[in-house]
A and B are shown apart, each in its own frame.
Chain A
Amino acid sequence: MPVSGVVVRCSNGCAEAVATRITAFTGVEVHGVLPDGRIVAVVESDTVQGEVDTVSQLHDVQDVIAVQLAYHNFEDI
């Protein structure tokens, strides 16, 4: 089951709100909201495709500017 760490960049002042929104996605855990408005989150899914889909969905969330992948592990656990 793949696990990845992502950094989400949001529009000014929207980080908290975005954090609330993306927490609602299955497999997304918010681990921190940085003072400059970026969010650190962990995404997990059953398959790599599922993970790609989830991250793609993150891009479409209101006030999200960018989603950067920082870490990816696809051990079979």
Chain B
Amino acid sequence: MRYYHLNNLNQHTGISRRRFLKDGMLVPLALAVAGGSISTLFLRRADARGFYLRPPGAVEETRFLAACVKCGKCAQACPYGSIKMAGGEAGIGIGTPHIVTREVPCHLCPDIPCAKTCPSGALDRKLNDIEKIRMGTAVIIDRENCLSLRGLRCEVCYRQCPLIDKAITIEPRHNTRTGVHSIMEPVIHADKCVGCGICENACVRDKPVIRVLAAIPGQKDYYEF
């Protein structure tokens, strides 16, 4: 397996545009394997979350792409079928495991069978606390269509969150339109959110208004020189 300078990697497609143009060989191969056509290269753009949601314990993405041997053991170990193997549209990431949270989210098994079974270290086998993972961060991406923010009693994302009251809390505020009800706003706490996607999966809107995005880097609440 050739090792690419992965610094240039475009996060959105898993392969930089330059690579795509230069390495005419690799991509058609990848697509041939996947059985797709050229147009499927950018297939995932339409609903792309901007990155691939890797299983629990995944190392940083560039190292992950190098380490993952695409054996599929993590997908086999997952009791819920959450882990899927990426197809040709993932470009260089073809055959790597990822989670499509809107279809089947990660359920945060306490004994983390996926990471334990990874032979190459793409997933950290030594991980023992499922709450310490950081697959991504949930974000409410559409406040206007969030039913809870409209004052309705939804908050399904909150009630279904496996880290309820830690990763998501409810902050009630006065509903000025009706005057006698409260708006129960789900607030995500990035430092606790593990990015499992149960919230995105449970969201009752046709297009989920809460989605797992790339993990938000922590920041201190004071200015640091």
> How many of chain A's residues have a CB under 8 angstroms from any CB in B?
2
Check: A76 CB closer than 8 A to any chain B CB. no
Residue in chain B with minimal CB distance to A36: B179
Please give, as numbers and ranges, the residues of chain B lying within 8 Å of A35 by CB-CB distance.
178-179
Distance to closest chain A CB from B183 (angstroms)? 16
A23-49 near B? 1/0 per residue, CB < 8 Å: 000000000000110000000000000
CB distance from A12 to the nearest CB of B (A): 13
Chain B interface size range: under 10
Task: Give residues 153-211 of B contacting A (CB, 8 Å).
Answer: 178-179
CA distance A23 to B179 in the complex (A): 27
Complex alpha-carbon distance, A35 and B175, angstroms: 13
Give the complex CA separation of A36 and B179 in angstroms: 9
Minimal beta-carbon separation of B111 from chain A (angstroms): 52
Task: Tell me which residues across on chain A come within 8 A of B178, comparing CB atoms.
Answer: 35
Q: How distant is the Cα of A35 from the Cα of B177 in the complex, in angstroms?
A: 9
With CB as the reference atom, state the residue of chain A lying closest to B179.
A35
Using CB atoms, name the residue of chain A closest to B177.
A35
CB neighbours of A36 from chain B (8 A): 179
A35 to B178 Cα, complex, angstroms = 7
- Nearest A residue to B180 via CB reads A35
CB distance from B32 to the nearest CB of A (A): 63
B12 to chain A, nearest CB (A): 47
Chain B proximity of A10: nearest CB distance (Å) = 16
How far, in angstroms, from A48 to B65 measured CA to CA in the complex?
81
CB distance from B8 to the nearest CB of A (A): 58
Q: List 3 A-B contacts (CB under 8 A).
A: A35-B178, A35-B179, A36-B179
3 closest A-B pairs by beta carbon, nearest first, are: A35-B178, A35-B179, A36-B179
